[in-house]
Amino acid sequence: MDTPVQPNNLSAQGGDANGGYRFALISLTTLFFMWGFITCLNDILIPYLKGAFNLSFTQAMLIQFCFFSAYFVVSLPAGMVVSRIGYQKGIVLGLGIACFGCLLFFPAASTQIYGIFLLALFVLASGITVLQVSANPYVTALGDPKTASSRLTMTQAFNAFGTTVAPFFGSYLIYGATGEHSGGTPSASDVQVPYLILAASLFLLALVFMYLKLPKLNHTSASTGVFKGGAWHHKHLVLGAVGIFMYVGAEVAIGSMLVNYLASPAVGGLTEAGAAKLLAYYWGGAMVGRFIGAVVMQKISGGYVLAFNACVAIILILLSLSSTGSVALWTILGVGLFNSIMFPTIFSLALQQLGKDTPQGSGILCLAIVGGAIVPLLQGMLADSIGVTLSFLLPASCYLYIAYYGLVGSRVAKFQSTEK
């Protein structure tokens, strides 16, 4: 490609499809890996801290509520900040905030106060939110807009790789090599070492991105405010934000309950440590599915693939709930495979033809990740009232909307194809 493409009113300088773009995409995959890794650790924290603090399911789900509520609070301001300082500086800022959040786990564990853990998770997620707002549109802009879904799906595959290896890391460092709690009982202090290691890794990444030479992406933004005008006029974006809410809510709710579900006698009868390791199959399926999806969506519309995957996810959940033993275990883990392409596909479909409103649109979509706070909390309430098994009907219902968005809601109205 002789001249840089300008998708979504973004222009890239200092790169081409075979040179600078490729290096930039390789660099960005490390970020997708890290935030996938960090997010997945919450699925191990929930049952562990539930035991350490003797919490109900609803109280334990406050971990996801505080983590994902940061997306709601921080996303739109982050979009404004990134539009001013640029994507690369936004990445460095996000890494720095996330590093500080990890460091807060040390005083949280030392004081044995659950509330400080929740604060640390909120700060950590705030940093990841800034990374999401910076990196996702960066990936969609680096190349041909026709393959934006495929490109973002490929980088998201490394996000899934992070979620795949995180259960082994978390299970070993938190539960120990024997799979038992230190001292025989759960202790909040067992999480200090894993998060100190993460803090050091994030700090090093921030230094790397501070000095990396990446293509400069420029945009012209005439934002009139985050809640009026601009991106909110694009129906497919607003519906896409609801889709992100439903998808993240369903994915996180399932992952949050998996350890307890797999540990139940009717399903796997596993120890918490053993069930935590099986999380790798749920998130590993998402990784495999994203690599497959990146190829499939070169030939098939992302909307159709999205609807198909949502329907299969519903079927697998219902099969799991109506079965026992290995069938119940593997069908619920199989949902991860079909979750695979949902987030990047909804994200890229929703950003279609937004032009100068792309930065605000990205912020709105990240705002919708608050679904990961609301849906798991609701499922926790259901688990306390009707049991863990039946509570999975809630995430199953979320996939119904995702199927609708893939088939109908993602279509761009002709009048919305505005100036580039």
Query: pLDDT tens, 114-143?
Result: 999 999 999 999 999 898 788 777 776 666
Q: Is residue 420 part of a domain?
A: no
Q: Is residue 2 part of a domain?
A: no
Determine the Cα–Cα distance for residues 235 and 190; give it in Å rounded to an integer: 47
On the question of pLDDT at 216 being above 90, the answer is no
pLDDT in tens, 100-111: 999 999 999 888
Q: What average pLDDT is seen over the chain?
A: 83
Looking at residue 358, which CATH number applies to its domain? 1.20.1250.20
Q: Of 401, 31, 40, 16, nearest to 252 (Cα)?
A: 40
Determine the Cα–Cα distance for residues 389 and 279; give it in Å rounded to an integer: 17
On the question of pLDDT at 150 being above 60, the answer is yes
On the question of pLDDT at 374 being above 60, the answer is yes
Q: Is residue 6 part of a domain?
A: no
Question: SS3 of 368, please?
Answer: helix
pLDDT at 5: 28
Q: Is residue 329 part of a domain?
A: yes
Mean pLDDT value of segment 177-181: 48
pLDDT band at 219; cut points 50, 70, 90: low
Secondary structure element (H or E) that encloses residue 82, with its range? helix 62-85
pLDDT at 17: 45
Question: Which domain range does residue 306 map to?
Answer: 15-414
20 vs 320, which has greater pLDDT? Answer: 320
218 vs 240, which has greater pLDDT? Answer: 240
DSSP strands (E only) in 264-370? none
pLDDT band at 184; cut points 50, 70, 90: low
Q: Is residue 8 part of a domain?
A: no
Inter-axis angle of helices 358-367 and 235-263, nearest 10: 30
pLDDT at 116: 94
What token pair was written down for 254? 């399932």
pLDDT at 310: 97
pTM of the model: 0.81
Q: Is residue 102 part of a domain?
A: yes
**Tally of structural domains, the chain:** 1
Cβ-contact 314, 295 below 8 angstroms: no
DSSP strands (E only) in 179-308? 216-219
Q: Is residue 382 part of a domain?
A: yes
pLDDT at 338: 95
DSSP secondary structure string, 96-154?
Answer: HHHHHHHHTHHHHHHHT-HHHHHHHHHHHHHHHHHHHHHHHHHHHHSS-GGGHHHHHHH
Question: SS3 of 349, please?
Answer: helix
